[in-house]
Chains A and B, each alone.
Chain A
Amino acid sequence: MNALLIALLALPLLGAAATLAPGLFGADPTARGRRALRFNAVLTGLVLALAVALAAGFDHAHPGRMQGGVDVSWIPALGVRFHLGVDGVSLPLVVLTALLSFLCALYSTKRPPDGEGTPSALSFTGLFLLLEVGMLATFLVLDLLLFFLAFEIVLVPMYFLIARWGSGARTASAFRFILYTLLGSAVMLLGFLLIGLHAGTFDMTELAARHGSGLSHSTQLLAALAIGLGLLVKAPAWPLHSWLPDAHTSAPTVGSVLLAGVLLKMGTYGLVRVLLPIVPDGTATFAPYLGALAAVGIVYGSLACLALARAGRGGDLKRLIAFSSVGHMGFVLLGIASLTPVGLNGALFANIAHGLITGLLFFVVGALKDRYGTADLDTLAGASGAALYGRAPRLGALLAFGAVASLGLPGLAGFWGELLAMFGAFQPGAGLHRPAFLVFMALAGLGTLLTAAYLLVVVRRVCMGDPAQPAAVQVAELRGYEAVSWTPLAVLTVVAGLWPALLLTLSDPVVKQLLAVG
């Protein structure tokens, strides 16, 4: 277990370093790029195999226990320890990260991230692997400063992915992304330091076991505010979301998939892992506000999507899916704000489900953008609709499947998270104002209705339509590599939908510990 954890981080890190070695991938630029991308796929495939091995070796009888502990002193002067471990909350996220990274790497071997003015595929590989290190580390580390470090590592490669391999106003979007999140994490670091100074340790397991004892109420409040702000930017919570639609619109397909599938989860994971157990009093004080932001975010996100989905508004499909993330992450935040095991389980489930479903949607929409040369809904749909069901039935069916999963159809992954988050809000934790949470729940319910509305409007305008209407371009049917790299997401969406216990038995004991309710 210990070796597995270290290998999970070391492998992509070494891979990233290898891309810097001159001459390792040959001299010819095209062959070098091809080799690099294949190297990327193999390495991320190995990481996925390690992650699966980790899941197989995980003691499923005790998901609440931190397993595979690596704990050595790293910077003694600051009391920073190199502490790694997985439990029932982080394990699914690690596997999801490894899976999405592998699928993205696989996808880019066949559809290399090229275009006008993009750097070489070799640098893409290096940045991609560095990104994977950061993402995995975020979910594996158990030291506050290390967590901050991992959180920040991710930003740099993602910035370059957007700014160099993106499209449209990519530089501006990348700037906004990095400035916004850096500002957030700077505040978060202050919160971490505050905790570390008062508690005398940065170790997350130890701090979590104390459940906030030894930290005064005002310290907790201040720390919760600072850390929460940083994490909410990342999540993103309304109204701190405005970096997200731009970043997604500009990002290349694989960037969008990872951004939505993994990066957003880092924020909510932080809320569950750091905020809840370490500063419980502070969290409880801010929970109603968090719930309010979540509920507004759900309705706001879906209304923004509805505005983008309408005919003649020049809505961009990628932007629409990005805004839908604001709504979906709202359910995650609502579940967390309820401070109940039910809500928290729902939040963690919705986290994974959103990664699978939105990852799939960004893949499909990215493929549409490739085929049509634009993601502008009006251009795509024309007067009556793009009739994808007729022109590319499998692609159309996958988009419809993704939409139906995203609107939270029972029996697919999206449902359970929303259900439990709302049920958590229906019976919020002790000391929370119940009427307020009932209002949040009702707003969330309204959000599910609006979500169904805009997603089905998208299906109507893209999948359905009069085939007699001349097509903008000849749309190619689902290609082999696309099917290979997307099918796992669709399959897992069904599996998690039919067998929710797969994730909930993992998270349930942990959230009860985190909330100290048994």
Chain B
Amino acid sequence: MNIALIALVPALPALGAAATLATGRRAPGWTKPLAVLPVLTAAVLALVVAVQLGTGRTLDAATRLTPTGGPDISLAVHLDGYTSLISVLVGLVACCVQIYSTAYLKTDPRYPSYAALVSLFTAAMLLVVYSGDLVVLLVGWEVMGICSYFLIGHHWETADARSASLKAFLVTKLGDVPFLFGIFVLAADAHSFRITQVLGAAGHGQLHHPTLAALLLLAGVAGKSAQFPLHTWLPDAMAGPTPVSALIHAATMVAAGIYLVARLLPVFLLSGAALVVLAVIAAVTMIGSALAALAQDDIKRVLAYSTVGQLGYMAGALASGDRQAAVFHLVSHGAFKALLFLSAGVLIHAAHTNSLTAMSGLPGLRARVPDARWTLGIGLVALVGLPPFAGFFSKEAVLTAAEKAAAGAALTNGVGPASAVPTAAGWIVLLAGSLTALLTAVYATRLWLLAFPAKAIARRGGTAPEPGAPYSPELDEADPGQAEPAAMRWPLWVLAVPAIGFGVAGLNPDWLPALLDGGSLRPSANTWVIGTGLAVAGVLVCWATWRTVSTRSGAAADPGRALLGRLFGPARQGFGLDRLYSLLFVRPALGAAALVRFLDREVVEGYVQGSGGAARLLGWLVRRSQSGNAQTYLSALLAASVLIAVFVAVGA
């Protein structure tokens, strides 16, 4: 295969970004083609590369980027089924976001810089996917982070966007620093930054500290993929434009962490402790985010917490040793979550508010957005995981992986021994995953009932958003009076197709599994019954509660409040984790900064002043001796002569 072809895939969007920035102001007519065409070409090339590679083959190529004095850093590619699948997903999603944005940000004067950042982001993500060198991967990883920072801060006029962008970068950076050290640990033992060498060293038992490396890497993964305890940036990141929330902060960038663990799974399989830690992280993330999603009033924040939870499923599959299931869920989630966000974008556009409470008081809403109503419904069913939608198969694959791991027969598919996965990890993921299936059904049903209440109830509702609830409102981009342009409607139906049908790809071992590790992705009977039963139960519980509270109050009421009870307040505020962070990190850092300011003024400055003072003191002493008093001089002379005489006498 031609290496230049592979190199063009990440290079084209990067060049497109540079060109968009360069011409943005002088030739605004060029912006749209420069934004869409390079990304489109890269997506096509990614598909071509994937087709040429075919199934069951890998490709490695490398050239030295730079010497370091130690292990070289190389521009390396490592292609296999995983890179094929994810690069095509990224290309597809990036095309959708660019096309959707041409309509969504039509009147935005800052569209050129926005489009350039999305292109640069695409390039960085493709670099992460293709790179066979950990340092070059880190380059893409952090460039993605900075693009995300700028995109969240797109509406820098608003205080929300300003603080959300800062928070997103710093929280992910908090994970990236240990991540870098994790790369050091791996590279020091493998004597190389190349992923193939690292995996080779892992296979030959040359990694001396796999647990340490895995845990350090997990910090970066938790930051990027929004896992507990570093997930708090994602709900706030919804202050960015909706296409960005949909595709970058739901379908692609946040999946990078999952992809990385899948890539380095042999290293993680060397450490049972790391897998258990990952399982606990995934479990806490899943349950906590589902509870928080149930209490949000901002539709985008509900979806953001839902993203956090679904990423928890993927992390859980990895903790169970099955990277196939993780990537399966990654792709199907990418489709249905992008669909949900874009539908929500249309809904917000029409209702002119993010608030679900306010939406429930708009009786005409369901007739106003017929397309979005359908696609939102499809997306929610896929999220809940009812057969035969995509989410059903991929979620069942995760639960099946957990079930097998709990039984001590993890589906590692030849990546490592099944015994490498502790049964505890499997149990934790299985229990948390089942509970989350129930909760997911509840909050998805709640979202639907609040957004499109029965007409009789809607007419009686209020239209004000709830006071005190956290919102991430976006400045309105388009005129709400008009129906959405075609470019905002047809991507919904394009995405609806995989959201409905992608799950089938896992059924036949010759289809998706052949591209990946070759194991089975079929759901087992046990998890099939449990998972679907819990999901249906969740839907019914939510519906019944809603009926009850709405009838009692005579208006559209929030079933989440009744179901969560006392938990509702804390869940709405994300369980106060932000306050905890402020206490643990922000305030100590600011305190230390104040201390340094004090030290620099009083202590470091003190010895500078002190040395000046010492010189003055010396001068004063010398000056004192020059008093001009003959008696003093004579007595000093006499005293000194006596002393010398004594010294000489004693010495002799």
- Footprint of B on A, CB under 8 Å? 176, 180, 239, 241-242, 300, 303-304, 306-308, 310, 313, 340-346, 384-385, 387, 389-390, 397, 404, 409-411, 415-416, 419-420, 422-424, 426-427, 441-442, 445-446, 448-450, 452-453, 456-457, 460, 463-468, 499-501, 504-505, 508, 511-512
Q: Which 7 A-B pairs have the closest CB atoms?
A: A341-B69, A464-B156, A501-B66, A410-B139, A307-B593, A306-B593, A307-B597
Whether A501 touches B65, Cβ cut-off 8 Å, given contacts A410-B138, A460-B166, is: yes
Tell me whether B174 is interfacial, beta carbon within 8 Å. yes
The answer, among B67, B135, B141, for a CB contact under 8 Å with A504, is B67
A176 to B612, CA, bound (A): 10
Q: Mark B603-615, 1 if CB is under 8 A from A, else 0.
A: 0110010000000
The answer, among A409, A416, A453, for a CB contact under 8 Å with B170, is A453
Whether A504 touches B593, Cβ cut-off 8 Å, given contacts A385-B162, A389-B156, A423-B184, is: no
Contact B139 A411 (CB under 8 A): yes
- Closest Cβ–Cβ distance, residue B590 to chain A (whole Å): 7
The answer, among B135, B139, B177, for a CB contact under 8 Å with A445, is B177
Contact A504 B66 (CB under 8 A): yes
Whether A345 touches B68, Cβ cut-off 8 Å, given contacts A410-B138, A411-B139, A466-B157, is: yes
A442 to B64, CA, bound (A): 28
A410 to B144, CA, bound (A): 10
- Closest Cβ–Cβ distance, residue A44 to chain B (whole Å): 29
Interface residue ranges of B138-173 to A (CB < 8 Å): 138-139, 141-143, 146, 149, 153, 156-159, 162-163, 165-166, 169-170, 173
Q: Which residues of A contact B135 (CB under 8 A)?
A: 410, 419
17 contacts between A and B (CB under 8 A): A242-B600, A306-B590, A307-B590, A342-B69, A344-B69, A389-B156, A404-B146, A411-B142, A415-B139, A426-B188, A453-B170, A456-B166, A466-B157, A468-B157, A501-B64, A501-B66, A504-B68
Q: What 4 new A-B contacts, CB under 8 Å, besides A385-B156, A448-B173, A512-B69?
A: A304-B593, A419-B135, A449-B174, A501-B67
A127 to B170, CA, bound (A): 44
Contact A456 B66 (CB under 8 A): no
Tell me whether B70 is interfacial, beta carbon within 8 Å. yes
Contact B173 A303 (CB under 8 A): no
Contact B173 A304 (CB under 8 A): no
Contact B68 A422 (CB under 8 A): no
Q: Which residues of A contact B178 (CB under 8 A)?
A: 445
Interface residue ranges of B156-203 to A (CB < 8 Å): 156-159, 162-163, 165-166, 169-170, 173-174, 177-178, 180-181, 184, 187-188
Tell me whether B589 is interfacial, beta carbon within 8 Å. yes
- Closest Cβ–Cβ distance, residue A483 to chain B (whole Å): 13
A305 to B327, CA, bound (A): 42
Contact B166 A342 (CB under 8 A): no
Whether A457 touches B166, Cβ cut-off 8 Å, given contacts A342-B68, A427-B70, A505-B67, is: yes
Contact A449 B600 (CB under 8 A): no
Q: Which residues of B contact A512 (CB under 8 A)?
A: 69
Whether A505 touches B66, Cβ cut-off 8 Å, given contacts A303-B596, A304-B600, A410-B139, is: yes
> Which residue of B has the minimal Cβ distance to A441?
B181
- Closest Cβ–Cβ distance, residue B170 to chain A (whole Å): 6
- Closest Cβ–Cβ distance, residue A152 to chain B (whole Å): 21
Q: Which residues of B contact A422 (CB under 8 A)?
A: 180, 184
The answer, among B143, B169, B595, B600, for a CB contact under 8 Å with A452, is B169
- Closest Cβ–Cβ distance, residue B601 to chain A (whole Å): 10
Contact B159 A384 (CB under 8 A): yes
Q: Which residues of B contact A180 (CB under 8 A)?
A: 608
Q: Which residues of A contact B188 (CB under 8 A)?
A: 426-427
> Which residue of B has the minimal Cβ distance to A466?
B157
Contact B177 A449 (CB under 8 A): yes
- Footprint of A on B, CB under 8 Å? 64-70, 73, 113, 135, 138-139, 141-143, 146, 149, 153, 156-159, 162-163, 165-166, 169-170, 173-174, 177-178, 180-181, 184, 187-188, 589-590, 592-597, 600, 604-605, 608
Whether A446 touches B177, Cβ cut-off 8 Å, given contacts A307-B594, A409-B146, A508-B69, is: yes
A500 to B162, CA, bound (A): 33
Whether A449 touches B170, Cβ cut-off 8 Å, given contacts A304-B593, A307-B596, A342-B69, is: yes
Q: Which residues of B contact A466 (CB under 8 A)?
A: 157-159
Q: Which residues of B contact A511 (CB under 8 A)?
A: 69
A513 to B610, CA, bound (A): 42
Q: Which residues of B contact A176 (CB under 8 A)?
A: 608
- Closest Cβ–Cβ distance, residue A512 to chain B (whole Å): 7
A446 to B180, CA, bound (A): 12
Whether A409 touches B166, Cβ cut-off 8 Å, given contacts A242-B604, A300-B596, A307-B597, is: no
- Closest Cβ–Cβ distance, residue A315 to chain B (whole Å): 9
Q: Which residues of A contact B149 (CB under 8 A)?
A: 456
Q: Which residues of B contact A345 (CB under 8 A)?
A: 67-69
Q: Which residues of A contact B64 (CB under 8 A)?
A: 501
A300 to B163, CA, bound (A): 25
A500 to B170, CA, bound (A): 26
Contact B70 A452 (CB under 8 A): no
Contact A423 B68 (CB under 8 A): yes
A446 to B604, CA, bound (A): 22
Q: Which residues of A contact B165 (CB under 8 A)?
A: 460
Whether A453 touches B157, Cβ cut-off 8 Å, given contacts A342-B68, A420-B69, A500-B66, is: no
- Closest Cβ–Cβ distance, residue B552 to chain A (whole Å): 44
Contact A456 B597 (CB under 8 A): no
Q: Which residues of A contact B163 (CB under 8 A)?
A: 460
> Which residue of A has the minimal Cβ distance to B150?
A400
- Closest Cβ–Cβ distance, residue B578 to chain A (whole Å): 16
Q: Which residues of A contact B65 (CB under 8 A)?
A: 500-501
The answer, among A310, A397, A467, for a CB contact under 8 Å with B593, is A310
- Closest Cβ–Cβ distance, residue B150 to chain A (whole Å): 8
A239 to B595, CA, bound (A): 15
- Closest Cβ–Cβ distance, residue B221 to chain A (whole Å): 17
Q: Which residues of B contact A419 (CB under 8 A)?
A: 135, 180
A346 to B69, CA, bound (A): 9
Q: Which residues of B contact A423 (CB under 8 A)?
A: 68, 70, 184, 187
The residue in A340, A448, A449 that gathers the most chain B C-beta atoms within 10 A of its C-beta is A449
A32 to B162, CA, bound (A): 49
> Which residue of B has the minimal Cβ distance to A469?
B157
Contact B162 A464 (CB under 8 A): yes
- Closest Cβ–Cβ distance, residue A240 to chain B (whole Å): 9
> Which residue of B has the minimal Cβ distance to A457?
B166
The answer, among A310, A313, A426, A504, for a CB contact under 8 Å with B184, is A426
> Which residue of A has the minimal Cβ distance to B181?
A445
- Closest Cβ–Cβ distance, residue A454 to chain B (whole Å): 8
A330 to B605, CA, bound (A): 20
A416 to B135, CA, bound (A): 10
A389 to B158, CA, bound (A): 13
- Closest Cβ–Cβ distance, residue B10 to chain A (whole Å): 12
- Closest Cβ–Cβ distance, residue B117 to chain A (whole Å): 12
A387 to B156, CA, bound (A): 8
A144 to B187, CA, bound (A): 39
Q: Which residues of A contact B142 (CB under 8 A)?
A: 409-411
Contact A411 B143 (CB under 8 A): yes
- Closest Cβ–Cβ distance, residue B33 to chain A (whole Å): 22
The answer, among B66, B156, B181, B590, for a CB contact under 8 Å with A310, is B590
The residue in A242, A416, A441, A468 that gathers the most chain B C-beta atoms within 10 A of its C-beta is A242
Q: Which residues of A contact B593 (CB under 8 A)?
A: 303-304, 306-307, 310
Contact B181 A410 (CB under 8 A): no
A508 to B70, CA, bound (A): 10
Contact A508 B67 (CB under 8 A): yes
A242 to B605, CA, bound (A): 7
A448 to B70, CA, bound (A): 22
- Closest Cβ–Cβ distance, residue B638 to chain A (whole Å): 38
- Closest Cβ–Cβ distance, residue A243 to chain B (whole Å): 8
A442 to B608, CA, bound (A): 30
Q: Which residues of A contact B590 (CB under 8 A)?
A: 306-307, 310
A440 to B178, CA, bound (A): 14
Q: Which residues of B contact A242 (CB under 8 A)?
A: 600, 604-605, 608
